Amino acid sequence: MLSAGIGTIIWTSVAFLVVLFILKKMAWGPILKGLKDRETSIENALRQADQARDEMARLNNENAKIIEQARIEQDRIIAEAKTIREKMISDAKADAEAAGKKLAEDARMAIEAEKNAALREVKNMVANLSVDIAEKVLREKFADRAAQESFVNRELDNVKLN
């Protein structure tokens, strides 16, 4: 068995207390201060991480709002473009219809003018033929009415319309 002497125990205890006192004065304070600084640093880092997470959430919310506003604006622009397109199409149809009606009216008027010109020409030809026939009738100086009618009918048969 091992037995230790009382002197060894006392000197060992005194040496332990001296080392403990020196450690407390020299090392324990700086170690505890280092631990406290480390704890404060970790708490600050956690607090900053929480702030960063909160800021990230806020930014994500803002981004979602901005994206939603952009979608709303996009939908509004698309609806406006569709309205403008439909108006342009209806305006173009109305313009084309008006132009078609004007063209048809112009054509109808041109046809009417040509028809009137042709009728005038036919009337002039009939008048000239009538004058020619009357002149020939007067030259013949028929005494007999039946002979005159026969002559007029013969002349009318000989006339050819152009």
Question: Are 151 and 137 in contact, with CB atoms under 8 Å apart?
Answer: yes
Number of domains in the chain: 1
Angle (deg, nearest 10), helices 29-140 and 145-158: 150
Which of 55, 78, 59 has its CA nearest to residue 67?
Answer: 59
Token pair in block for residue 84: 């403008």
162/77: higher pLDDT: 77
pLDDT of residue 156: 77
pLDDT of residue 66: 95
Rounded distance, CA 21 to CA 96, Å?
Answer: 108
Mean pLDDT of all residues in 108-112: 93
Mean pLDDT of all residues in 22-37: 85
pLDDT in tens, 115-137: 999 998 888 888 778 777 777 76
Within a domain: 7? no
With b for 16 or more beta-carbon neighbours within 10 A and e for fewer, the 134-145 pattern comes to eeeeeeeeeeee
pLDDT of residue 47: 96
pLDDT band at 5 (very low <50, low <70, confident <90, very high): confident
Within a domain: 48? yes
Question: Are 137 and 148 in contact, with CB atoms under 8 Å apart?
Answer: yes
Rg (CA), the chain: 63
Rounded distance, CA 26 to CA 18, Å?
Answer: 12
- Between the alpha carbon of residue 162 and those of residues 20, 66, 131, 132, 133, the distances in Å are 147, 84, 17, 16, 17
pLDDT of residue 44: 95
pLDDT of residue 140: 65
In one-letter notation, the amino acid at residue 139 is R
Within a domain: 55? yes
Within a domain: 69? yes
pLDDT of residue 155: 76
- Could you tell me the pTM of the whole model? 0.43
Within a domain: 11? no
In one-letter notation, the amino acid at residue 155 is E
Within a domain: 40? yes
pLDDT of residue 145: 72
87/144: higher pLDDT: 87
Within a domain: 146? yes
Within a domain: 53? yes
Question: Are 140 and 151 in contact, with CB atoms under 8 Å apart?
Answer: yes
Provide the domain limits for residue 56. 28-158
**N-term to C-term CA, the chain:** 162
Q: What is the mean pLDDT of the chain?
A: 87
pLDDT of residue 55: 95
Mean pLDDT of all residues in 79-96: 94
